[in-house]
Structure 1
Amino acid sequence: MIKFLEIQKITQKYSDEIHRAATRVIDSGWYLLGEETKRFEKNYARFIGTNHCIGVANGLDALRIILKANMELGIMQEGDEVIVPANTFIASILAITDNRLVPVLVEPDIHTYQIDDTKIEEAISPKTKAVMIVHLYGQCAYTDKIGEICKKHNLKLIEDNAQATGCKFNGKITGSLGDASGHSFYPGKNLGAFGDGGAITTNDPILAETAKTLANYGSNVKYVFDYQGLNSRLDEIQAAILDVKLSHLNEDNERRKEVARYYLEHITNPEVILPEVNDWNAHVFHLFVIRSAHRNELLQYLNDNGVQALIHYPVAPHKQKAYKEWNDLTLPVTEKIHNEVLSLPISQVITDEEAETIVKTVNSFRANDLKGQK
């Protein structure tokens, strides 16, 4: 079986460096808010191209804290609206509702799967305070039009950069395009920790200081609490490991692109819709997502023939029980995407032979043949 993602193989690539980093932390006796975290924050801010980086516990917390910081600073208040793509992973929306803000769902572009920038302006109301773009699957969601809309309507632009570390827009790295960005270092990400981890990047020094304080119980001085904060901190071992992997990220992303190019050039099955790539700098292929009207049959066929494929994500946020008040909404583009998408294995450790096998298996699928076998 070709696994969807082999994290052990990714770890083995840099095993010696990782072991040295982890041992250094263990021997130091200092496991939170120490020099390793400071070093990673500095290096990650430099990589992203922002003045500030705050390590936090996970990607969801990164987004929660960005919004909470804006509320503490009086920029937003309960009941204000945040525009967000309807087809995102639920964490983007959870961050909004957790702060008692109101998500306004906007349909994506069927070709890019990113928020449709032609539909954003019509969703703006007097209560709108921000647009949250999600660089879904590793592809840049930002457009000049989105930037212009935010400037015109005085809206904060927040990036959910959980899936796109290293992706670029006109030479700038995602995570540096808006007012603030949330990042995830979940183990399966392009830059993955050995557990949960996240970060906030921004060029706003006041927002950065507020976010840093909120992430540490609301305290900037020990036992003095300015806000009702959270306990959301990136630990020293995760920071040290991430710093090792960060030094190899561009190389890893390039390998992902090589695999993606091979898929795009060699998958010829007419029952499969391939992703569209207009700018190879604007995609780091956290996921390689295809679509098929026979998605479920294709998934079963791949799994039966030794290729582990996954669905990201089978149920749209507005159809989840967690948001039952939205269950009657009809969002046809979002629903079509969630009903048809399928993720093929892709990573920096996929071999050429594995990629060839995956392509051959996808190309050999025929839905009608399967129906005839029943």
Structure 2
Amino acid sequence: MRLRSDPTVRRAVPFVNLNRQHEAIAAELDAATTRVRAESAFTLGAEVEAFETEFARFCGVKHAIGVGSGTDALHFALRGFGIGPGDEVITAVNTFAATAEAILMCGARPVFVDIDERTCLLDVARLEAACTARTRAIIPVHLYGQPAEMRTILEIAGRRGLKVIEDACQSHGAMSDGKATGSLGDAGCFSFYPSKNLGAMGDGGIVVTDDDELAEHVRRLRNHGENEERLHIEPGFCSRLHGIQAAILRAKLPALAGWNSQRVEAADSYAEVLSGSSVILPATRSGATHVYHLYVIQTNDRDELRARLDDQRIATGVHYAVPLHQEPAFASLGYGRGDFPVAEHVTSRIVSLPMYPYLERSEIEVIGDAIARARPR
């Protein structure tokens, strides 16, 4: 379904409003960009090293290696563990395409697992059955900002000798059993796409880990396979976190906890405002903190509801409209319609509502009122 996309149309409530965040720390952002211009350290350099140190401390790990995107973070973590042709990597079928792309970039095969209908997270009850003699790793996805059920995933992985690479691209600051996402598995991968809970002003990503060998390998991969002696040990890639983005992320990182708290408060307001409606609200896991990168409801009349909200100039999204096994890019994997019935059902019902720091209670009430008044045409 296509909704109005005219950028000149002013939204009553936009899907994302980055200006409010940026205005709140405008002085810090100005100082950050001025500092980089003065130092002329635009690719890697001191700002990147400082941010890597600060983000590693934030996650509670030894190493953080900045790269060009969250996709590259996943790719390099897999490749750094030696995963390649003939190997299989298990992940959720309803994640963003980048998760599966990273597996294919290594020459490995993505193996999809269906999801839990309420949380939309990988269904760990189906995980063991997806493992084969070729399985080398599991990529749990902390979708929408909620940690996957890591305790069970880690138990299965430990018993089978599998690597666990967390797709934490939507879960900056989320916790599971008292530990930050990214620090639970063998490696964690984050995206700094601008709309993320911690976003740059362009693309960026990072790999976090306690594994010294992996950290060294990822540092080489991001910079043409070059080691500290400037020797090219292996063919690599050009995927370096830029100094300007690192400086911006350093300015934003101290605000992240507060911004995440505002997202949780907004989710609580949504729950109150929508309590009398027919939509199904997001389910949260016990033992985990949800940081609501996205606020995703479920409804039987998804397209009709989106059209009605669009009429009221309220922006919405769908994350994601098609499970990966139905995407043309992954047709060669041989999956067919009906192979993942829960994901197929859920993806026909989900709607993402506006969610961001400084989203006002009055705006949430406008959205709730529009949902309550939505009726079939």
Which contiguous aligned blocks of 4+ residues in structure 1 show a shift greater than 6 angstroms? none
Q: Return 5+ residue gaps in structure 1 as ranges.
A: none
Which of 308, 313, 317 aligns to 2:320? It is 313
Which residue of the partner structure matches residue 93 of structure 1? 100
Is structure 2 residue 222 aligned with structure 1 residue 215?
yes
For each residue in 1:7-60, what CA deviation from the matched residue of structure 2 results, as whole angstroms up to 9, or x when unmatched? 122211111100100000001112112110011000000001110000000000
Instruction: Give the Å deviation of 1:270.
Output: 4.3
Which residue of the partner structure matches residue 129 of structure 1? 136
Instruction: Give the Å deviation of 1:64.
Output: 0.4
Measure the CA separation in 1 of the matches of 2:288 and 2:166. Answer: 18
Measure the CA separation in 2 of the matches of 1:362 and 1:16. Answer: 38
For each residue in 1:137-161, what CA deviation from the matched residue of structure 2 results, as whole angstroms up to 9, or x when unmatched? 0001133111110111011011000
- Trace 1:67-146 onto structure 2 (pairs within 5 A): 67-71=78-82, 76-146=83-153
Instruction: Give the Å deviation of 1:339.
Output: 1.1
Which deviates the most, 178-187 or 344-353? 344-353
- Trace 1:193-212 onto structure 2 (pairs within 5 A): 193-212=200-219
Which of 22, 39, 42 aligns to 2:33? It is 22
Structure 2 counterpart of 1:97, one-letter code: L
Which of 61, 65, 70 aligns to 1:59? It is 70
Matched-pair contact (CA < 8 Å) for 1:320–1:327: no
SS at 1:342's partner residue? Answer: strand
TM-score, L = length of structure 2: 0.94
Which residue of the partner structure matches residue 8 of structure 2? none
For each residue in 1:216-235, what CA deviation from the matched residue of structure 2 results, as whole angstroms up to 9, or x when unmatched? 11001464111111111101
Is structure 2 residue 253 aligned with structure 1 residue 242?
no
Measure the CA separation in 1 of the matches of 2:155 and 2:268. Answer: 32
For each residue in 1:68-108, what CA deviation from the matched residue of structure 2 results, as whole angstroms up to 9, or x when unmatched? 1111xxxx341100010011111000000111101110001
Measure the CA separation in 2 of the matches of 1:96 and 1:31. Answer: 30
For each residue in 1:145-192, what CA deviation from the matched residue of structure 2 results, as whole angstroms up to 9, or x when unmatched? 111101110110110000000000111000000000110000000000
Instruction: Give the Å deviation of 1:269.
Output: 4.9
Measure the CA separation in 2 of the matches of 1:41 and 1:164. Answer: 17
Which residue of the partner structure matches residue 373 of structure 2? 364
Which residue of the partner structure matches residue 188 of structure 1? 195
Sort the Cα spacing of 1:105 and 1:53 in 2 relative to 1 into closer, same or farther, 3 A. Answer: same
Is structure 2 residue 19 aligned with structure 1 residue 12?
no
Alignment: residue pair count: 364
Which of 143, 147, 153 aligns to 2:160? It is 153
SS at 1:118's partner residue? Answer: helix
Matched-pair contact (CA < 8 Å) for 1:2–1:307: yes
Instruction: Give the Å deviation of 1:327.
Output: 5.6
Structure 2 counterpart of 1:306, one-letter code: R
Measure the CA separation in 2 of the matches of 1:316 and 1:83. Answer: 15
Matched-pair contact (CA < 8 Å) for 1:271–1:366: no
TM-score, L = length of structure 1: 0.95
- Trace 1:318-337 onto structure 2 (pairs within 5 A): 318-325=325-332, 326=334, 328-330=336-338, 331-337=340-346
Which of 172, 175, 180 aligns to 1:173? It is 180
Which deviates the most, 251-260 or 224-233? 224-233
Which residue of the partner structure matches residue 46 of structure 1? 57
Which residue of the partner structure matches residue 35 of structure 1? 46
Matched-pair contact (CA < 8 Å) for 2:76–2:218: yes
Structure 2 counterpart of 1:328, one-letter code: G
Which of 328, 339, 347 aligns to 2:356? It is 347
